[in-house]
Amino acid sequence: MMQPFQPPVRTLLGPGPSDVAPSVLRALSAPTLGHLDPRLFVAMDELRAALRPVFGTANPATFVLSGTGTSGMEAVLANLIEPGDGVLVPVHGYFGARVAEIAARCGAEVTRVDGEWGRASDPARAKAALGGRRIKLVAVVHAETSTGVRQDLAPWRDLAREQGALLVADTVTSLGCIPIDADTNGVDGAWSCTQKGLSCASGMAPVTFSPRAVERVKARARKVQSFYLDLGLLLDYWDAPHGYHHTMSSNLLCGVHEALRLVHEEGLTKRFERTTRVSRACAKGFEALGLELLVPEAERLPQLLAVRIPEGVDDVRVRSRLLAKHDLEIGGGLGPLKGKLWRIGLMGHGATRKNVLTLLSALRLALESEGFRAKADGAAVAERELGD
Amino acid sequence: MMQPFQPPVRTLLGPGPSDVAPSVLRALSAPTLGHLDPRLFVAMDELRAALRPVFGTANPATFVLSGTGTSGMEAVLANLIEPGDGVLVPVHGYFGARVAEIAARCGAEVTRVDGEWGRASDPARAKAALGGRRIKLVAVVHAETSTGVRQDLAPWRDLAREQGALLVADTVTSLGCIPIDADTNGVDGAWSCTQKGLSCASGMAPVTFSPRAVERVKARARKVQSFYLDLGLLLDYWDAPHGYHHTMSSNLLCGVHEALRLVHEEGLTKRFERTTRVSRACAKGFEALGLELLVPEAERLPQLLAVRIPEGVDDVRVRSRLLAKHDLEIGGGLGPLKGKLWRIGLMGHGATRKNVLTLLSALRLALESEGFRAKADGAAVAERELGD
């Protein structure tokens, strides 16, 4: 006989999902509505209006897809790439590599420019790597979830403009944590997720397309290879008179709606400041413990800190201990960084003093159980840094 | 200032979503878990074990995708089709046409055989339409959501076997409502949704692939065009040791887990019987009112009844009235059937005596407000049919 599943209450300090606010969890279990219910359309419009300032855009074509962040990546690329198109992808982490992989599956001629994992990419180097090749799209990762690197978008806009290309950005780990300023930065397409900076459950992918990008999709010679992620069909659903395309989950939509409401209740500027303040204290706490951060401060995302695992300390044993003893989740490394670093997310609702204190205390005990001697009391240092 | 969204409590008697049980709604708001949490893996294994008998399969490659039913359709087709492959698609409704459309976007040479909307397709006619063409895939709609037609699978298995082709089936509207018997019927791939026969919120797509289908995907010459829906990558996540692919929503998973638990608590046979019994009574009620059903009884799905809208009765006005006055949702027609019929779903948790009574009473009043004179009291007839 199958038993009900009762998940434990974790503190989620990995690279996502982040801690979900109680009112967002409640919204997920609101009464289900049909995908063509006129009351749902009102909530969808409110959601779109609330999402635009978080992306920093006025794009009408801003909405959420019925899939996770990776579906958002695939949607933006599959709609904007036609077979044979030149696409420039600077890669300095796992998700840049994923962008290049998906672009190739869309039939792009990808110029992939690999940089150091843990540093931002250099636009001048990428430009040189192009040689004389013409490109139609530049695809960059604004916030590299595998390393915690922030990539400034403005130089890539300039490179894209020189080429007459569009600029698209992976904002999976930036939306709701740091400013994206999509319009100011000339971003023509961006994708994100709901389970990091917005602190909702995963399952939907916020996306935005500039009017130029929408025109590009309309002018395609070939149909988009994905029917499920076809922008024209999706907009036929999201825009009045709301034709049928797929059965969007009203329950997920209610969760995202409430998560965005909380973002605006706090205020974007305050939210960004809180994230930065809490993260800076946490970083000082790590350093006090004697841990080294992967990314130099100038390129570091506040919402995702990558910490090198000290020599002689076992990655899996530490993470398992945190989970088993403290119901506390942190992330491991991806790809070549597996076993070499931990990823600590301080995102949205989870970027709190309490979480920093819990993490630094629990991590210190775990490190000591591995024979690592902490330099100082990281939790006390972070607490002092945060003030009252 | 953005206000919390408080959806009304609807009775969902359209073609999906169906009414969701209270314990399933509660499960959606269970504490969020990371997508790599060992406790989540246990629940995922339980879910897979519970899902297989609903499909009627022992396929190890049975799981749920992070997207709606349409993503399931796209996943099965995109994994099993390589450019240039011959694919046979009998079309007798909106979703057969969608299968043909997606297969074409996957690069298939589609032989589309159109039949009457409201009747099942004829395998002999489809075979004749092939002429001498060889095909690699036969894709049929087991339960056509646009018309409520049931398509027997066994004759298509025989046709597929003759051709050395695989057979795949759209079971979006059949899973949890009627037997699919995937293994007995030689189904190599099937997709479904969570918001109809399983009575969960939408957002995930149950899928199953036979071992032969998995081999076909492994032997592909080209990568699957979708990274998000790539079977190999998805199985790397669902199977131990569970590598990262995308951030599956633990909240949706909890909902589907609980929905499947309820299916087995009732028992599959009992659930199928209840659906048939309740539907037969509802159909008699429609006939008593003087309404005509689109599909002859032998080919009719119990879980989805298509009723012709009588001459002089306004489709939208009636459905708006039901929604506004009674919080009751039924579906309209799709494509060429728009304005011509209503679709009434009696699926999963929603296939109840009470819902039939409410619907027939409310519909009678709505019809009378349009000047249509009911032949008899449909609700009383249905009630009598159901007995005690």
Q: Cβ contact (<8 Å) for B246 and A69?
A: yes
Domain co-membership, A162 together with A276: no
Which of A67, A101, A249 is facing B201, going by the closest CB pair? Answer: A249
Q: How far is A387 from chain B (nearest CA, A)?
A: 30
- CATH number of residue A180's parent domain: 3.40.640.10
Phi, psi dihedrals of residue A345, rounded to the nearest 5°: -95, 130
Contact at 8 Å (CB) between B319 and B342? yes
Domain co-membership, A221 together with A311: no
Domain boundary among A237, A264, A291: A264
In a domain, A369, yes or no: yes
pLDDT of residue A209: 99
Q: Cβ contact (<8 Å) for A257 and B5?
A: yes
Beta strand segments in B152-295, E: 166-170, 189-191, 205-209
Q: How far is A102 from chain B (nearest CA, A)?
A: 6
Mean pLDDT, residues B94-100 taken together: 98
Q: Cβ contact (<8 Å) for B31 and A9?
A: yes
- Number of structural domains in chain B: 2
Mutate to test the interface with A, among B195, B202, B233 (most CBs of A within 10 A): B202
- CATH number of residue A306's parent domain: 3.90.1150.10
Which of A17, A30, A202 is facing B7, going by the closest CB pair? Answer: A30
Which residues span the domain enclosing B42?
A: 22-264
Q: How far is B239 from chain A (nearest CA, A)?
A: 18
Domain co-membership, B174 together with B238: yes
Q: How far is B101 from chain A (nearest CA, A)?
A: 8
Mutate to test the interface with A, among B2, B20, B198, B257 (most CBs of A within 10 A): B2
Q: How far is A40 from chain B (nearest CA, A)?
A: 8
Please, what is the average pLDDT of chain B?
Answer: 98
Long-range CB contacts (within 8 A, 24+) of A318-321: A318/A342, A318/A363, A318/A366, A318/A367, A318/A370, A321/A366, A321/A369
In a domain, B272, yes or no: yes
Domain boundary among A264, A286, A319: A264
Secondary structure element (H or E) that encloses residue A205, with its range: strand A205-209
In a domain, A16, yes or no: no
Contact at 8 Å (CB) between B217 and B170? no
Q: Cβ contact (<8 Å) for B31 and A7?
A: yes
In a domain, B14, yes or no: no
Q: Which two tokens stand for residue A10?
A: 């974790």
Would residue B164 be called left, alpha or beta, if left means φ above 0 and alpha means ψ between -120 and 50 degrees? left
Q: How far is B259 from chain A (nearest CA, A)?
A: 10
Residue B144 clears pLDDT 90, i.e. is over it? yes
Contact at 8 Å (CB) between A78 and A261? no
pLDDT of residue A388: 85
Closest chain B residue to A42, measured at CA: B5
Q: Which two tokens stand for residue B205?
A: 């797509």
Domain co-membership, A201 together with A320: no
Q: Cβ contact (<8 Å) for A28 and B248?
A: no
The span from the CA of B7 to the CA of B236, in Å, is 38
B261-299 residue pLDDT tens: 999 999 999 999 999 999 999 999 999 999 999 999 999
pLDDT of residue B355: 98
Q: How far is B103 from chain A (nearest CA, A)?
A: 10
Domain co-membership, A245 together with A259: yes
Domain co-membership, A239 together with A362: no
* SS3 assignment, position A208: strand
Which of B228, B250, B264 is facing A2, going by the closest CB pair? Answer: B264
- Give B50's pLDDT tier (boundaries 50, 70, 90): very high
Provide, as residue numbers in chain A, all residues whose Cβ is less than 8 Å from the Cβ of B46: 2, 5
Contact at 8 Å (CB) between B382 and B363? no
Q: How far is B132 from chain A (nearest CA, A)?
A: 28
Provide, as residue numbers in chain B, all residues whose Cβ is less than 8 Å from the Cβ of A324: none
Q: Cβ contact (<8 Å) for A28 and B29?
A: yes
Provide, as residue numbers in chain A, all residues whose Cβ is less than 8 Å from the Cβ of B40: 7
Which of B20, B29, B32 is facing A26, going by the closest CB pair? Answer: B29
pLDDT of residue B136: 98
* SS3 assignment, position B344: strand
Mutate to test the interface with B, among A28, A35, A262, A326 (most CBs of B within 10 A): A28
Q: Cβ contact (<8 Å) for A106 and B225?
A: yes
Mutate to test the interface with B, among A251, A258, A260, A326 (most CBs of B within 10 A): A251
Domain co-membership, A80 together with A117: yes
Q: Cβ contact (<8 Å) for B31 and A43?
A: no
Provide, as residue numbers in chain B, all residues whose Cβ is less than 8 Å from the Cβ of A29: 25-26, 28-29
First vs last Cα of chain A: how many Å apart?
Answer: 52
Secondary structure element (H or E) that encloses residue B223, with its range: none
pLDDT of residue A12: 98
Q: Count residue pairs from A and B with Cβ separation < 8 A.
A: 241
Provide, as residue numbers in chain A, all residues whose Cβ is less than 8 Å from the Cβ of B323: 37-38
pLDDT of residue B73: 98
Domain co-membership, A204 together with A325: no
Which of A33, A46, A247 is facing B10, going by the closest CB pair? Answer: A33
Q: How far is B15 from chain A (nearest CA, A)?
A: 9
The span from the CA of B247 to the CA of B230, in Å, is 15
Burial class (CB in 10 A: 0-12, 13-18, 19+), A240: exposed
Domain co-membership, A79 together with A199: yes
Domain co-membership, B252 together with B360: no
Q: Cβ contact (<8 Å) for A202 and B12?
A: no
Rounded to two decimals, the pTM is 0.98
B297-344 residue pLDDT tens: 999 999 999 999 999 999 999 999 999 999 999 999 999 999 999 999
In a domain, A15, yes or no: no
Provide, as residue numbers in chain B, all residues whose Cβ is less than 8 Å from the Cβ of A43: 5, 7
Q: How far is B260 from chain A (nearest CA, A)?
A: 9
Contact at 8 Å (CB) between B43 and A7? yes
pLDDT of residue A240: 97
Domain co-membership, A257 together with A281: no
The list of chain A residues with pLDDT below 70 reads none
Closest chain A residue to B172, measured at CA: A247
In a domain, B10, yes or no: no
In a domain, B17, yes or no: no
In a domain, B2, yes or no: no
Which of B1, B70, B201 is facing A32, going by the closest CB pair? Answer: B201
Q: Cβ contact (<8 Å) for A251 and B203?
A: yes
- A328 forms bridges with which residues in the sheet? A11
Domain co-membership, A235 together with A300: no
Contact at 8 Å (CB) between B99 and B213? no
Closest chain A residue to B16, measured at CA: A34
Domain boundary among A244, A264, A284: A264
- B113 forms bridges with which residues in the sheet? B90
Closest C-alpha among B201, B260, B334, B131 to residue A2:
B260
Q: Cβ contact (<8 Å) for A8 and B39?
A: yes
Q: Which two tokens stand for residue A301?
A: 């995302």
* Residue A246 DSSP label: S
Provide, as residue numbers in chain B, all residues whose Cβ is less than 8 Å from the Cβ of A100: none
* Residue B175 DSSP label: T
Q: Cβ contact (<8 Å) for B329 and A228?
A: no
Provide, as residue numbers in chain B, all residues whose Cβ is less than 8 Å from the Cβ of A5: 27, 30, 43, 46, 254, 257-258
The single residue listed with the structure tokens 């009045």 is: A240
Closest chain B residue to A19, measured at CA: B32
Residue B1 clears pLDDT 90, i.e. is over it? no
Mutate to test the interface with A, among B37, B227, B246 (most CBs of A within 10 A): B227
Mutate to test the interface with B, among A237, A249, A266 (most CBs of B within 10 A): A249
Q: How far is B248 from chain A (nearest CA, A)?
A: 7
Provide, as residue numbers in chain A, all residues whose Cβ is less than 8 Å from the Cβ of B347: none
